Structure 1
């Protein structure tokens, strides 16, 4: 398979399949060969589902030939993070104790992708239990832009495989930044939907009231197509929102003229390096040039909500792992185990206070959106960090805050965001920005992201092939 074909857009590929220019079967076989040739150095995949992928591709080929096309994903090879159940492949969630676990059914997200006709190439590698570190028995994915660079946490396999042209799009999860971080680190477009927009049925939990599932692609248009297939109410997940599912692809060409986009200079100045600031400034100028009105706002103090996120997430994770932790502590890696131990220090009174502060912060952020449609922010304060740099930052409270300051607050509020490639470091590592919307505003985020990508070409850059 040529690089040009491997790096083509998902929507473009779907259109070429519909026009009979490409066969899903040949396309899938080509990508499986590419995975076999290149993923040995990148480790994006935990499990390659070659047999079922070819069978799905052959079925798509027959259906499309018979005039029964299901939509833009029909016949397109995608991949999913290995915390989503698949009835025909194991789901480990980055954990040694779950290797070999096979669910009786697909996660709702997987079932909906398959119902849309997508071909599932495999399960993508991730951190242990979707937290910050990898189990020592698991292989760490390698950023295709730079082997020394951080691949982003948790959904790192999704970021690596998509950026390297080993699938046309992927599913990640985000509890504190794990769609946004690997999207930024690997030069991708990722959507963290509104909490509850996408069913969590069949997904291993990290923090139940914080977890979101969403697409990671090479463009806003592609992410909109994937998101449209997976949103909506689900009787298997009563927390899934019953709001009408948006067609994010339908109005994606509407542009940003007349939109009021907020910027928060004082918030950005708290802990961003020069590359992160430059990416935000460049995105602001591009959006202004497209007709958006830029409005300076004051963003609420997020320092307490960051500390609260750690306590709340640790307690929610400990609840999910109660059947195996601490009874099987020796089977856990040290980073996840230390995090779960944090839960023991939280009292019922502490959790009550966190809940109240969370509601108050949500209200302050809602007020900050008065008079703006979207908010432009960095994804993180550290641009293109190395793995060693992230570990060093994690050793200090300020370093952790600089990494998480712009991500965790929107898991606490439940708001949707879109991450967009918007710059590069001197070493050539990608730098991303995020647009934040009001709850349920995913269609507007996709529209603004697409407009930005019509005026810039950061999302079209490709990593050099591994030598």
Structure 2
């Protein structure tokens, strides 16, 4: 197999080939850097390509292989991370202009753990300003490799584009209102938003600290599982991280026997494009064929919490940016400015009511999940939105609330979700859906994702570049 054919392999396959000495980490990294140079001038997925550091890491990885030393699960695999994860000695701008010269002295814990697993860091991936809704006006927006006229997802847009286009084998994103799941669905990928606290947020620029989730994006559930296993676990540097030192995850799965899977047809179809409703019906059939017991459930009312997501996030982002806003307000883009001003203008009593409503929803979802193992939910009601459609969303608070109606509830509640590709629109754009599980039940999500992908081939579809 030539190096020109490798870019769409799965990360676990690449790791196996490297360990077997069938692929050189140095040659593979050089080939990936050449592909980035050739394609990313029109895709804009990378904020920073760390060429020399990546090649140096690849040479070190190759020496370990040749010496017969023990290898990590991602040894020699080229990956990339969203540019709000700190990387020691390299700029981390978080999609802003105010931080373009910020060079952290240490890696984010998740980045360090990727390196410890043997991964090669190709660079930093572009994102919306501060990880909110839109890109800074002075920064080029990543382009969906399936079709440039369609949304690439936000805020982990660069992570979605680079992973889908074969410019890295997997990536890290973050999700505060849907920002792993939106770009995963938009680019035909698998993404995991873990339980809140499952992955350390130390060294990750905050948007809304109690809503932020760090997690992997990949081209398969097996790869997303591999990535999550590498980065998950308690971190003394993040006191909010879950106490378990390591997460035990399955390495394969073939069925869903013994699992109860809930679906709320009424909620799922509320304002949802028909092509998504049809795709979900096919998902249910696959789940049944794998032995899953599908049950109709009633999801709790979420409109209040969805409508209040901006207030919740606004207060937290105002705190996160207190050192630079309003002092550097002129350097902020309009969307992030608006969100910060919402937060700064919220009273303590109003914010407390938001937190009470959020806690009530968390309890109701916990009660629902106590009776089922998994929940099937769309990622968004709009199938593959165009830039024009998103422009309308930005001007209409009601439409924007509809966009996040299936994602934001699980940021507010902290429940884990995996997004999987499940079809294509008539114009050939990817469609995704979510499995949601109880707090701490990532092993179930990974099992379900791998079983679903053993029975389907949507994750093997790639954009033509």
TM-score tier (shorter): over 0.9
- In structure 2, the residue matched to 1:229 is 230
Q: TM-score, with normalisation over the residues of structure 1?
A: 0.98
1:270 offset after TM fit, Å? 1.5
Cα distance in 1 between the residues matched to 2:423 and 2:149: 18
The answer to whether the 8 A contact 1:225-1:249 is kept is no
Alignment RMSD (CA, Å): 1.1
1:133 matched residue in structure 2: 134
CA distance in 2 between counterparts of 1:387 and 1:70 reads 44
- Check 1:453–1:3 CA distance in 2 against 1; reply closer, same or farther (3 A cut): farther
Q: Equivalent residue of 1:96, what SS?
A: coil
2:63 alignment counterpart: 62
How far has the Cα of 1:197 moved from its partner?
A: 0.3
- Counterpart CA distance in 2 for 1:263 and 1:70 is 42
Looking at structure 2, the residues matched to 351 and 67 of structure 1 have their Cα atoms a distance apart, in angstroms, of: 57
| 1:71-220 equivalent positions in 2, closer than 5 A | 71-220=72-221
1:30 Cα shift? 0.5
1:275-286 equivalence runs, <5 A: 275-286=275-286
Give the 3-state SS of the residue equivalent to 2:121 in structure 1.
Answer: strand
User: Residues 221 and 450 of structure 1 are in contact (CA less than 8 Å); yes or no, is this contact kept in structure 2?
Assistant: yes
Q: Which residue is 1:408 aligned to?
A: 408
Tell me the CA shift for residue 356 of structure 1: 1.3
In the TM superposition, residue 93 of structure 1 has moved relative to its aligned partner by 0.2
Q: Any idea what the Cα deviations from partners look like across 1:121-170, whole Å, max 9, x if unmatched?
A: 00000000000011111110000000001000110000000000000000
Q: Please give the alpha-carbon distance, in whole angstroms, between the structure 1 residues aligned to 2:294 and 2:54.
A: 46
Deviation, structure 1 residue 4: 3.3
Q: Does 2:47 match 1:46?
A: yes
5+ long unaligned stretches in structure 1: none
In the alignment of these two chains, the number of paired residues is 464
Runs ≥4 residues deviating over 3 A: 1-4
Deviation at 1:396, TM superposition (A): 2.1
The answer to whether the 8 Å contact 2:3/2:28 transfers is: no
Contact 1:44 1:158 in 2 (8 A): yes
Q: Secondary structure at the match of 1:412?
A: helix
CA distance in 1, matches of 2:21, 2:177: 41
* Residues 19 and 71, structure 2, Cα contact 8 Å, conserved in 1: no
SS at 1:271 equivalent: coil
Query: Which residue number in structure 2 is paired with residue 309 of structure 1?
Result: 309
After superposition, residues 16-31 of structure 1 pair within 5 angstroms as: 16-31=17-32
Alpha-carbon offset, residue 398 of structure 1: 3.0
Shift of 1:254: 5.3
Distance 1:435 1:144 in 2: 25
- Change in 2 beyond 3 A, CA 1:317/1:274: same
2: CA distance, partners of 1:132 / 1:80 = 19
8 Å CA contact 1:286, 1:455 repeated in 2? yes
Q: Report if aligned partners of 1:272, 1:402 keep a CA contact under 8 Å in 2.
A: no
Offset, 1:377: 0.5
Tell me what 2:453 maps to.
453
Normalised by the length of structure 2, the TM-score is 0.98
Q: Distance in 1 between matches of 2:260 and 2:72?
A: 33
Deviations 1:166-221 (CA, angstroms, capped at 9, x unpaired):
00000000000000000000000000000000000000000000001100000000
Instruction: Report the CA distance shift for 1:255/1:68 in structure 2 as closer, same or farther (over 3 A).
Output: farther
Residues of 1 paired with 2:14 and 2:286: CA distance?
28
Q: 1: CA distance between counterparts of 2:108 and 2:322? A: 22
1:380-395 equivalences in 2 (<5 Å):
380-395=380-395
Q: How far apart are residue 3 of structure 1 and its match?
A: 5.4
Partner-residue secondary structure (3-state), 1:426? coil
Secondary structure in 1 aligned to 2:143? coil
CA distance in 2, matches of 1:367, 1:342: 32
How far 1:88 moved relative to its partner?
2.5
Native 8 Å contact 2:254 2:450 kept in 1: no
